[in-house]
Amino acid sequence: MTPECKAPVSPRPLWTQVHVPLERIDLRDTTYQIRTQPCTEALVASIEACGLINPPLLRKQGERFSIISGFRRVAACRRCGFHRVQARLVSPDLDEADCIHMAVADNAFQGTLNPVEISRVVRLFSRCHPDPGQIGKASTRAGVPLHGAMVEKFMKVSRLPDPVQESLARGALTLSVAETLADLGPEAAQALNRLFTRLKLGFQLQREMIRLTTEIARREDLDLMEVLQAPDLARILEKENGDRVQKTRQIRWYLKKRRFPHLTEREAAFKKCLKALKLGPGVSVSPPADFEGRTFSLTLRFDSPDALSHGKAALDRILTDPDFKRFFST
């Protein structure tokens, strides 16, 4: 017996095509906003030249419309001077979970998301999925693959203050550094981010600054903000002379001396030793950076045989001085 052929059941309509007055679209409702990049001149030019190829996805809220996806497209249409815009209006029987899935899927289809945008995805799915594993599965189904451990990392990022998130979005912070800042609390995270931004620190120096300041706070039983607001640190930052590289070197040295007090003692002992040796203006000796290592630098300047002879005598004093030799054994 031949089985009966049945027409396939059509899925429920997810949206309908409508034309909406731009003034009724609420740009202040950023519930579903994922992208961090604002509307660009290129997008405005494209819409002016070709029209709106991919209509935004909207949800009716009373007499107004909120945006599920297409914040930049709506902003570009306003800049183009449009009064009405073609849009996809989601079905009123869709729940919040459906809207979140559609917002994430539409944004994921448009290109790779940065860490802050992924954190917004996680935050959105957390509205309807309490468990990190469920959030990861929902995000993966929507086109942003995540597992439970990554969900927890991005959840931390979503709680960072806006200026810190902005630094992460533009690549001035790594996800690892941002996660560490999140563990330090919002005030300390912002203070360290300001320091990183002001000095344009690379990732390695960022991690070192975090490590030194947190270790100082623990060692001296202080709040981290007390370390970051230290007058000596502020004086270095506010110096009018000195570029950011110079200030970075001075701040790094200040923090290392405070974290490792023996560095100050060794510096004082070294200066006392050089003073006792009376090397003269033509001879200078520099210790290894932060007294880490055993390689010293020596400079000898002379403009006559007599000056060279004085330099040789200074070198002989260095070679035979028992106090100077101690710097090679500690």
264, 257 contact by CB (below 8 A)? yes
Residue 5: predicted pLDDT: 41
Domain boundaries, the chain: 15-158, 162-259, 275-328
pTM of the model: 0.77
* Integer CA distances (angstroms), 315 to 51, 162, 183, in order: 80, 58, 52
229, 195 contact by CB (below 8 A)? no
Over residues 195-249, the pLDDT tens digits come to: 999 999 999 999 999 999 999 999 999 999 999 999 999 999 998 777 899 999 9
Residue 268: predicted pLDDT: 82
Residue 191: predicted pLDDT: 97
Q: How many CA atoms lie within 13 A of 257 on its CB side?
A: 14
Three-state SS letters, the chain? CCCCCCCCCCCCCCEEEEEEEHHHEECCCCCCCCCCCCCCHHHHHHHHHHCCCCCCEEEEECCEEEEEECHHHHHHHHHCCCCEEEEEEECCCCCHHHHHHHHHHHHHHCCCCCHHHHHHHHHHHCCCCCCHHHHHHHHHHCCCCCCHHHHHHHHHHHCCCHHHHHHHHCCCCCHHHHHHHHHHCHHHHHHHHHHHHHHCCCHHHHHHHHHHHHHHHHHCCCCHHHHHCCHHHHHHHHCCCCCHHHHHHHHHHHHHHHHCCHHHHHHHHHHHHHHHHCCCCCEEEECCHHHCCCCCEEEECCCCHHHHHHHHHHHHHHHHCHHHHHHHCC
A 10 A CB-CB count for 53 gives 9
Residue 177: predicted pLDDT: 97
Residue 9: predicted pLDDT: 45
The CATH topology of domain 15-158 is 3.90.1530
Residue 291: predicted pLDDT: 76
Q: How many CA atoms lie within 13 A of 80 on its CB side?
A: 25
Contacts of 222 (CB under 8 A, 6+ apart): 216
pLDDT lower than 50: segments of the chain: 1-10
Residue 10: predicted pLDDT: 45
Taking alpha carbons only, the member of 217, 208, 201, 330 closest to residue 263 is: 330
- The residue assigned the tokens 């917004």 is 120
Residue 7: predicted pLDDT: 41
Q: What is the largest CA-CA distance in the chain?
A: 119
